[in-house]
Structures are given as C-alpha cells and as structure tokens.
Amino acid sequence: MDRIPILKMGDFLLVTIQVDLYDQLAETLESDLVNMVKKYNSRGVLIDISAVSIIDSFMGRILGNISTMSKIMDAETVVVGMQPAVAITLVELGLPLKGIHCALNVERGMELLRSKIGFDNQEETDDDDSDLE
Amino acid sequence: MDRIPILKMGDFLLVTIQVDLYDQLAETLESDLVNMVKKYNSRGVLIDISAVSIIDSFMGRILGNISTMSKIMDAETVVVGMQPAVAITLVELGLPLKGIHCALNVERGMELLRSKIGFDNQEETDDDDSDLE
C-alpha cells in the first residue's frame, strides 16, 4: 500500500482512510490531494474515517494539515463517519480536532460542503471558527 | 482491519477496496453489502479497485459473487478504477471477469448505473450479458 486512492465526485474529492497512516503515506496523501484539487478545480474534500478505530495526535495533525492546505487552495474539508467511540476518546484525551469540520456521514458531509461553498460565494468572509458537529 | 467500510451515496453504495481481501474479510463484505442494499433500498453498488494492484482468481470470484448477490437483490454492480496493468494481466491470465460490469472511474460508473436502472425500469428484461468496457 503506497498511496490512498482519491475519488473524484463532481466538484468534490472523496478519500476513505482504511489503513494506519504512517509518515510517508500521510505525506503522499497530502500532496496527492492538493494536486488533485488543482487538477480538477475541486471545491471540497470529504475524508471518510468510518474504518478508523483509533485517532491519535499524529492522525489529528494530518487531518488538520489537509484541512489547512485545502483551505489555502480554496477547497473546504469535511471529515465524515467518525465512530462514536472515537469521538468520546478524542474529547477525553483533549484532542477536540479544532478547525476541522465534521459530519455524520458522506451525504451530510456533501450537504455541509455545498452550504459552505454557497456561503463563501455570497459573503467571502474568511472566518476560522470550527464547527465540530 | 475487520471490515471494509461501505458508503451510502443516494441510491448507490460505494466500496473502496484498499487492502488484500482474505476469506473472512470478503465474507463480511458480501454480507454487509447485501444487508445495506436491503436496509437502504439501494439500486446500485460501485466497487472502486483503483488501489488494487493484483487481481487473482479469488478476488475475481468475490467480485462475481457480489455482482450476482446484488443482482438477486435487484441492485446492479459496477467495478470502477481498474489500473491498466491489472486489465492487461487479467486478460493474459484468461480471467476476463465475465458478468462483471466495469467503468473507468466513479463518475462514469454512476452514469452506467443510472442508465442500467433506467433501462431495467423500461423493459424489465433480465439479460445476463457481460459488457466489460
């Protein structure tokens, strides 16, 4: 496994993380993602972590990096499918994934992305608040 | 890794295969898929194999099983994202994935599924021809 596949779905990109991220794999994913955002002129990135049972600080940092990079490239990032146990552990460990938008599943994530893109088009304000849902 | 995540996207289900399938994992995937087809009343299943670099006869059989099971449950299956090298090897090995519909990527796969569903609604013929594209 040398890279995580990225699927193009209309204006959005979808990544399903099923394996443990190590340094090289995470780096490849980050560069692949920003390249694809540029190539396909994507407006949003969906990261599905429903198969991830442990999120540590490394994984949290990678998600934050991807979100920030995409934002710089004018694309929003939404993390979807987090398992309830993972959410509990994250908060108990004091890792509330600040700055990362979350949604329950892919469909709700797409809705959130669409609303964000619409909002940006109307007001063009660059607010940094995190709305962890 | 005890199960492969299945994402619901409207009327379709999306599965991204990123790891080697072994017996137990394949069996779980098959049962999860048919259960989700029933639960969400899905009309189509997309299987993304862009991260798969080797397809052997076992993997071919699993794909065939999923396709047949889904068909029985009134859902079409399309395999998307096959790497060119995999297609070459499959044909050279005499494993042409008969009975499995293929498309270049997720978007084309969705188009194919939509056309198939439309076709089924009009004619309700249950033809078994394989159109490996």
Q: What is the pLDDT of residues A73-105, one digit of tens each?
A: 999 999 999 999 999 988 988 888 888 899 999
Section A65-73 average pLDDT: 93
Domain membership of residue A130 (yes or no) is: no
Domain membership of residue A50 (yes or no) is: yes
Whether ipTM > 0.85 holds is no
Q: How far is B125 from chain A (nearest CA, A)?
A: 30
Domain membership of residue A59 (yes or no) is: yes
Section B86-111 average pLDDT: 90
**Most B CBs within 10 Å, among A11, A12, A16, to test the B interface:** A16
Write down the mean pLDDT value for chain A: 87
The enclosing domain of B87 has a CATH number of 3.30.750.24
| Count of the separate structural domains present in chain A | 1
Q: Which of the 8 DSSP states describes residue A46?
A: E
- Alpha-carbon distances of B101 from B1, B44, B114, B130, rounded to whole Å: 27, 12, 13, 6
Beta bridge partners of B76: B44
Domain membership of residue B74 (yes or no) is: yes
> What residues of chain B lie within 8 A of the CB of A50, using their CB?
5, 7
pLDDT band at B81 (very low <50, low <70, confident <90, very high): very high
The yes-or-no verdict on residue A131 having pLDDT over 90 is no
> What residues of chain A lie within 8 A of the CB of B107, using their CB?
8-10
The two tokens of residue A105 are 């599943």
Nearest to B4 among A3, A10, A18 (CB): A18
Domain membership of residue A129 (yes or no) is: no
Q: How far is B30 from chain A (nearest CA, A)?
A: 17
Domain membership of residue A1 (yes or no) is: no
Domain membership of residue A103 (yes or no) is: yes
Domain membership of residue A32 (yes or no) is: yes
The yes-or-no verdict on residue B122 having pLDDT over 90 is no
Alpha helices (H) in A5-131, listed in sequence order: 23-40, 57-72, 84-92, 106-123
Residue B76: domain span:
6-123
- Alpha-carbon distances of B82 from A84, B78, B101, B119, B132, rounded to whole Å: 33, 11, 12, 25, 12
pLDDT digits (tens, 9 = 90+) for B35-48: 999 999 999 999 99
Q: For the whole model, what pTM was predicted?
A: 0.83
